[in-house]
């Protein structure tokens, strides 16, 4: 039977890092929504935002998850905003097991600032501005994130914990 594991959460939550390890451990393909969208259009997320605006980018995210085959096993990491628009969280919940990687705003802000990934939504913000922005933004986004099947604390955000939760031990 196919198993599909979907990691969601704010920018800097560690979705791609954990997703890659989990996929490797399970022998499943790893899919990253941002990477797939960049590959399909041959443009970076920043360029897509600049050309189509956020609304245009959100449409591409919805198209992307609508076109995911539901007949195979995979581990999917989604862009931070993806679950929060166009009813996408319901689509994700119908595709597989969703896990919200919950983290504190300060931890997220630090990781975002230390990362080389370009993130148009938070570009140019100082640490203090970023923490405020994340706290406000999470008030809206958690209404969606918390509807995932599982919410993981930082300690629970491990390959072993997810494998045990889903009883996937070989």
Q: Does 19 bind ligand S3P (CB under 6 A)?
A: no
Report the nearest approach of ligand S3P to the CB of residue 170 (Å).
29
Are 135 and 42 in contact by the 8 Å Cβ rule? The answer is no
Cα–Cα dist 15/113, whole Å: 16
Q: Does 134 bind ligand S3P (CB under 6 A)?
A: no
Q: Does 158 bind ligand S3P (CB under 6 A)?
A: no
3-state SS assignment for residue 116: coil
> Among 81, 105, 109, 145, which residue interacts with ligand S3P (rule: CB under 6 A)?
81
> Among 31, 45, 109, 131, which residue interacts with ligand S3P (rule: CB under 6 A)?
45
Report the nearest approach of ligand S3P to the CB of residue 64 (Å).
11
81 or 96, CB closer to ligand S3P? 81
> Among 6, 11, 75, 131, which residue interacts with ligand S3P (rule: CB under 6 A)?
11
Phi and psi at residue 104, to the nearest 5°: -75, 150
Q: Does 147 bind ligand S3P (CB under 6 A)?
A: no
In this structure, how many other beta carbons lie within 10 angstroms of the beta carbon of residue 9?
25
Report the nearest approach of ligand S3P to the CB of residue 94 (Å).
21
Are 8 and 78 in contact by the 8 Å Cβ rule? The answer is yes
Distances in Å between the Cα of 104 and the Cα atoms of 11, 55, 87, 99 are 11, 27, 25, 16
């Amino acid at each position: 039977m196919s198993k599909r594991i979907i990691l969601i959460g704010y920018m800097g939550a560690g979705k791609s890092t954990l997703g890659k390890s989990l996929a490797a451990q399970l022998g499943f393909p790893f899919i990253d929504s941002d990477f797939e969208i960049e590959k399909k259009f041959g443009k970076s997320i920043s360029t897509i935002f600049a050309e189509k605006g956020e609304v245009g980018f959100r449409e591409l995210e919805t198209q992307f998850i609508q076109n995911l085959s539901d007949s195979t096993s995979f581990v999917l990491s989604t862009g931070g905003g993806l679950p929060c628009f166009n009813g996408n969280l319901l689509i994700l919940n119908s595709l597989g097991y969703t896990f919200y990687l919950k983290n504190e705003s300060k931890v997220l802000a630090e990781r975002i600032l230390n990362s080389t990934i370009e993130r148009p939504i938070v570009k140019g913000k100082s640490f203090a501005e970023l923490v405020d922005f994340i706290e406000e933004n999470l008030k809206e986004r958690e209404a969606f994130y918390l509807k995932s099947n599982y919410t993981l604390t930082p300690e629970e955000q491990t390959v072993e914990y997810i494998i045990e939760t889903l009883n996937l031990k070989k």
